[in-house]
Amino acid sequence: MQTVVLAAGRGTRMRPLTDRQLKPMLPVAGRPLVAHTVEAAADAGASRVVLVVQPDDGSVSEFFGDEYAGVTLDYAVQTEQRGTADAVRAAAPHLDDAPFVVLNGDALYDHASLATLYDRAPAVGAFRVPDPSQYGVLLTDEAGERVTGVVEKPADPPSNLVNAGAYALPAAAKSWLDVDESERGELEFTDVLARACETSDVRPVAFERWLDVGRPWELLEANEWQLGELDGRVDGAVHADAELSGDVVVADGATVRSGVVIEGPAYVDSGATVGPNAYIRGSTYVGPEANVGHAVEVKNSVLMAGAHAGHLAYVGDSVLGRETNLGAGTKVANLRHDGADVQTLVKGDVVSTGRRKFGVVLGDGAKTGINTSLNAGVKLPTDGATRPGEVVLFDPDSEKGREA
């Protein structure tokens, strides 16, 4: 079935990581987040994919070209980020007069569940979460076999089945895309779904696994998921006395020096260097040209392209943006003494990450002075810097960060 993948969002909740990179292009286990969406679609039965992209961005088309994972790709430009219905409207001229699937390009889907969605059209992907109040919650008939609507962020959720941003709709839905602005000022695809529910029996397809990647710790979770599915392979240079265990990928052009211990799952991407005497463990991605140097321990973290932790550092449960640099002796806290889940700021609000272990987020180009200590949940802005010996307890420039 022809499939629209939405990749033109602003990614404001993912800041500062999205200041210079598009959210769909953030790395997940060695390729962009949206590549996982396209692969899932291809596996599930997409005949052709229309990617909706931002006007001045070539990064998506540069990565994919006109064929990927065995499917042909087309690009539709959404000129202004007015909402998901508007994004699909941009794709409409590229669609044949036939049923189509719409997928958010910033989520991970399990392939088998997605295949069920394709088979059962008209249908909407659903996922059970413990606290649905922050999601669009699906309303169904009593038997749970037909979707009757969606309520956004309900105070009193009618069920714990949330909208997974995956829709298989009839051809007629192409003419329902002129929706009114919602309360939050967007043109929402859920209004198109509501119309589909009025005119046909839209089935909920419960996904076994699904992850919406909207906030920085969800990028860690996406990497945890996808690194966990890797088969180890060594294409790069690994010193004879380095110890690799579990599934570890050392890509072509990567170097693992002497005395290094890597406990997989882990991925050391092309051009990256690790060691000598470094320790990498637990779902860690070391991006292209990144460096993990002598006496550096990295646990469960994402180091994007060109990130450097050269000497004597600890990085746990953290995301380091591109071309970041940690001065010698930089330490990251990733656990609160009271054992509570780590909180962080998202668009100025204090939010729980739902994780007992969460470290820091560094925007592209951020640098720490030697012996910097970074508290759990701290974010350094794009190109931000700390002084030598600085202790960063709260997000810089944010009084509210103190509450976290």
Which residues form the interface with ligand TTP (CB under 6 A)? 6-14, 23, 52, 78, 81-84, 86-87, 104-106, 186, 214
Q: How far apart are the first and last CA of the chain?
A: 45
Neighbours of 111 (CB within 10 A): 16
Give the count of alpha carbons within 13 A of 132, CB side only: 21
* Least CB distance to ligand TTP at residue 103 (A): 8
Select from 190, 156, 162, 186 the least CA-distant residue to 176.
Answer: 190
* Least CB distance to ligand TTP at residue 76 (A): 10
Give the integer Cα–Cα distance in Å for 44 and 95.
18
Q: Are the CB atoms for 194 and 152 separated by under 8 Å?
A: no
State which residue, 225 or 314, has the beta carbon closest to ligand TTP. Answer: 225
* Least CB distance to ligand TTP at residue 282 (A): 27
DSSP 316-363: ES-EE-TT-EEPTT-EE--B-TT-PPPEEEETTEEEE-S-SB---EE-
- Which residues are catalytic, by number? 311
Give the integer Cα–Cα distance in Å for 143 and 327.
59
* Least CB distance to ligand TTP at residue 83 (A): 5
* Least CB distance to ligand TTP at residue 155 (A): 20
* Least CB distance to ligand TTP at residue 377 (A): 18
State which residue, 84 or 386, has the beta carbon closest to ligand TTP. Answer: 84
State which residue, 161 or 346, has the beta carbon closest to ligand TTP. Answer: 346
User: Which residue lies nearest ligand TTP, judged by its C-beta?
Assistant: 9
Q: In a 3-state reduction of DSSP, which class is residue 158?
A: coil
Give the integer Cα–Cα distance in Å for 310 and 12.
30
Q: Are the CB atoms for 300 and 281 separated by under 8 Å?
A: yes
State which residue, 11 or 16, has the beta carbon closest to ligand TTP. Answer: 11
State which residue, 51 or 254, has the beta carbon closest to ligand TTP. Answer: 51
Q: Are the CB atoms for 166 and 120 separated by under 8 Å?
A: no
State which residue, 108 or 374, has the beta carbon closest to ligand TTP. Answer: 108
In sequence order, the 6+-apart residues with CB closer than 8 A to the CB of 133 are: 153, 154, 155, 157
